[in-house]
Structure 1
Amino acid sequence: MNDDLPAQLRRLGLSPQEAAIYLTMLRTGRTSASGLAAQLDWRPEEAERCLGRLIGIGLAAQFGTDGTEAAPVDPAIALDHLSHTRVAELRQAHCSALNAYRDYRRSVHPQATEDLVEVVTGGGIADRILQVERAAESDVLRFDSPPYHIPAGANPTELRNLERGVEYRVVYSRSAVENRVYYTTNIQPCIASGEHARVLPTVPVKLTVFDRRIAIVSMSFVEAEVNDSLLVVRPSSLLSALTGLFESAWRSAFPMHLSDRVPPALRPLHVRILELLGTGVTDDAIAQLLGISRRTLSRNLEHLNHRAGTSTRFQLALYAVRNGWI
């Protein structure tokens, strides 16, 4: 028998005594409350009470003409009921904790609007960002631009979220894409894992919206020098406006990854070059991001222009868009 079963049963809502009765019944089969009391060295009324609880939730059934005996039954329905009950209890506890915290905030700042907007400063910023992102359930919308409160490297939290089905749509600023370390360790792995990415010369604000129910607004370069803080925005007209701002920018931004209509004969390097052409970064920046020389980039651009029948990088990017590559 699984040694961890008593702990698992307690997690589902059984008391230690009820779990002990159930495990004893699994070993002995059909028995009575007095028989269980004798085996466990309990008072008969205690065994009778626990057995009655197991019968009540469907983990045991009564037998015999007088119903004094019981035996364990298929636990599927009962365990489903217990798990749903525990989920409901956890949700109620979650709501109670949130309500208690909001009452506390109102008592400290009765005239403030912290139910809608919270200011986080200093050392608590990175922890709050990670806390909110780990709790994302369905979708994340983001304007990505330096500076970063979390070191500008890999984002394992996003990768885990993508793996469990959370959708990410990110609009990068050109300055984010031009950062070779950030492009290589963060942007590329996230796109490869399913992130939908686009780019603009600049983004209007540093913003992330989680599940359309909470947003984080960070400071720009200039603001961060004066006030290192972020705003946590909860459901309100402000949150709706920020979400609308993202959707408007998303529609006008340039995709950073190619569609499945790109010719399969293109070399991987050519695909990477096409991905970066639309970002607006310079040829020198593209060469640096790809780890190739300026001359190698020019030679590959000539090859792509020849294939597309174009003569400039702008015409090449336009051709890629019109032909559904991007």
Structure 2
Amino acid sequence: MLEAAGLTAVEESVYRLLVATTTASAPELAGQSGLPQHRVEAVLAALTGKGLAGPTDSDPPQYSAVPPDVALLQRRTDELDKARSTVTDLLDLYRSTRRRQDAGQLIEVITGAESLRLHLRQMQDNARHEMLWFCKAQYVAMPSGSNRAEYDALARGVRYRVLYEQAFFDDDNAVDNVIEGVQAGEIARSVPHLPLRLAVADRAIAICPLVPGGPQGSPGEPTAALVRGSSLLEALISLFERYWETAVPLSLGAAGTLPDARAAQSGDPLSETDRRLLSLLVAGIADKAIASQMGLSRRTVQRHIQHMMTLAGATTRMQLAWQAARRGWL
């Protein structure tokens, strides 16, 4: 019986006749089976659709049987592919529904420095697009320079945006480690203070300590939250972007050194020429007129503007004006 191939009794009967002959037309099979020709034609169409028979281009068409093992194997393969696709869709729906209904699916509590290190490593190993970091002074799980997973991720094209608070650079070897990261492709900025520690992978999952804890060996193990897709995760990403906008870029100088983050954030990182040029720019004066008034070339004016845009982390002159007002440069 060929129920496994999805055949009815009539279809199996006609298929057996085809197997016993090299080729046969619908009229010939009707004569052999005793079935009306229109019924045989419908059965042949069904067998063709199921991959068990194939017609020729002759008139009337001649039909031949496809070996049953080949037909059954192909049918099973197609069914397995459909089943896999259906199961994947259902699993995604199940996970999404469970996360909405069960807070435990959205926030997982991690306790201990070793567990925290493991999760941070896994996040970076699985990242495909971007990592966001808040780096505060006094490490909790990863001493400065020990996060080698970053370099593996950078090598495969993952973008790293890292914010360092000023006190971070007081740690031993911190400056050298940041320089190494920037040389590897990390995009680094600095702010006077960060509100918390944070790591976000692909804007899909984040780690945010709940209990501060301290450096390895100090009393009290750190406790962190692993946060998945939710409004809380969106809020953490928005917090990062808010601090990123006002942070000072840390690009390497010609000697391969970082700028003094405290000096850059002291409120007066501009020269007297920069400040005068900026005031004219904000007033709406064109580059050519600024150059003439200050006795500079247009190229020099544009170089000063680009330098200030880099300091402010601005990509347009409008952003530069906004950042200059926020930072008290005007």
TM-score by length of 2: 0.50
Q: Which amino acid aligns with 2:231?
A: S
Counterpart of 2:183? 192
Counterpart of 1:257? 251
1:147 equivalent in alignment to 2:147 = no
Residues 140 and 213, structure 2, Cα contact 8 Å, conserved in 1: no
**Distance in structure 1 (CA, Å) of the matches to 2:84 and 2:156:** 20
Q: Which amino acid aligns with 2:104?
A: E
1:118 equivalent in alignment to 2:112 = no
Counterpart of 2:316? none
1:215 Cα shift?
1.1
Residues 147 and 220, structure 1, Cα contact 8 Å, conserved in 2: no
1:250 Cα shift?
0.3
**Distance in structure 2 (CA, Å) of the matches to 1:248 and 1:276:** 22
1:154 Cα shift?
3.8
What secondary structure does 1:150 align onto?
A: coil
Counterpart of 1:295? none
- Relative to structure 1, the CA distance from residue 169 to residue 119 in structure 2 (aligned partners, 3 Å threshold; closer, same or farther) is same
Counterpart of 2:157? 165
Q: 1:232 aligns with which of 226, 230, 233?
A: 226
Aligned residues: 214
Q: Root-mean-square deviation (CA), in Å?
A: 4.6
Residues 178 and 281, structure 1, Cα contact 8 Å, conserved in 2: no
**Distance in structure 2 (CA, Å) of the matches to 1:85 and 1:184:** 54
Instruction: Write out aligned runs for 1:1-326 (5 A).
Output: 95=92, 113-122=103-112, 123-145=114-136, 146-185=138-177, 187-218=178-209, 219-220=211-212, 225-257=219-251, 268-269=254-255, 272=257, 275-280=258-263, 314-315=269-270, 322-324=305-307, 326=311
Structure 1 segments (4+ residues) deviating >6 Å:
84-87, 99-103
- Relative to structure 1, the CA distance from residue 154 to residue 188 in structure 2 (aligned partners, 3 Å threshold; closer, same or farther) is farther
Residues 138 and 165, structure 1, Cα contact 8 Å, conserved in 2: yes
Residues 102 and 115, structure 1, Cα contact 8 Å, conserved in 2: yes
**Distance in structure 1 (CA, Å) of the matches to 2:200 and 2:273:** 31
What secondary structure does 1:115 align onto?
A: helix
**Distance in structure 1 (CA, Å) of the matches to 2:189 and 2:84:** 38
**Distance in structure 2 (CA, Å) of the matches to 1:86 and 1:182:** 53
Which structure 2 residue ranges, 5 or more long, are not aligned?
1-53, 57-62, 68-77, 275-302, 312-330
**Distance in structure 2 (CA, Å) of the matches to 1:148 and 1:138:** 25
1:101 Cα shift?
9.3
Residues 143 and 206, structure 1, Cα contact 8 Å, conserved in 2: yes
Structure index of larger Rg: 2
Residues 162 and 194, structure 1, Cα contact 8 Å, conserved in 2: yes
Worse-matched range after superposition: 114-123 or 246-255: 114-123
1:98 Cα shift?
5.6
- Relative to structure 1, the CA distance from residue 317 to residue 235 in structure 2 (aligned partners, 3 Å threshold; closer, same or farther) is farther
**Distance in structure 2 (CA, Å) of the matches to 1:68 and 1:257:** 68
Q: Which amino acid aligns with 1:129?
A: L
1:153 Cα shift?
2.0
1:133 Cα shift?
1.9
What secondary structure does 1:114 align onto?
A: helix
**Distance in structure 2 (CA, Å) of the matches to 1:85 and 1:181:** 55
**Distance in structure 2 (CA, Å) of the matches to 1:126 and 1:97:** 29
Counterpart of 1:288? none
**Distance in structure 1 (CA, Å) of the matches to 2:86 and 2:273:** 56
Residues 140 and 222, structure 2, Cα contact 8 Å, conserved in 1: no
Residues 171 and 200, structure 1, Cα contact 8 Å, conserved in 2: yes
**Distance in structure 2 (CA, Å) of the matches to 1:243 and 1:139:** 12
Residues 174 and 202, structure 1, Cα contact 8 Å, conserved in 2: yes
1:277 Cα shift?
2.1
- Relative to structure 1, the CA distance from residue 88 to residue 150 in structure 2 (aligned partners, 3 Å threshold; closer, same or farther) is farther
What secondary structure does 1:197 align onto?
A: strand
**Distance in structure 2 (CA, Å) of the matches to 1:117 and 1:250:** 25
Residues 144 and 173, structure 1, Cα contact 8 Å, conserved in 2: yes
TM-score by length of 1: 0.51
